Amino acid sequence: MLLATVKEQVDILPLLTMINYIKRHNKDFIGITAEQGAELYAQFKQYHGNKYKNQGVGVGSDWRWQHLFAGMIFDKWNISSDKHGPVALCYYGNFGAKPRGTLNKEDYVSVWINKPKNMKELQKKGIWLKSLPDGFTLTVE
């Protein structure tokens, strides 16, 4: 498993580079799944534990990392506090409310992939970018 190699912040940069490559070269890419986001966050917690001394929200977590991973998720109705962190659920989750009817891909693009079309989307993207861990803003754009 590729994620088993992610032990330090610098280790995740090559992973994000690969994801960005997919983003640029696949017009149908709308983000990662909540399951993939949970896997990234679990990997982070496994290797960093309580490194951040409970700063922010969530025992043993850092709110900026929750923003990073959750902002990449397109199936926001699957975000949960247990798997993604409380900040992820609050800012990006749909609180379990699943969409009904036919899914229109454009309506479920992740904050990360979204090209804002109105002020609300622009503000959401801005909050996400300002909330990322140090050094990640340029990596994910």
Token look-up 């990640």 returns 136
Considering Cα of 4, then 129, then 108, then 24, what sign does the dihedral take?
negative
- Sorted by where each begins, the domain ranges of the chain are 7-140
Crossing angle of helices 63-70 and 34-48, in 10° steps, is: 150
What residues pair up with 73 in beta bridges, in sequence order?
32
Q: What is the pTM of this model?
A: 0.79
The residue among 136 and 31 whose pLDDT is bigger is: 31
Local confidence band at 113 (pLDDT 50, 70, 90 cut-offs)? confident
Indicate if the pLDDT at residue 34 is higher than 90. Answer: yes
Q: For the chain, first and last CA: distance in Å? A: 25
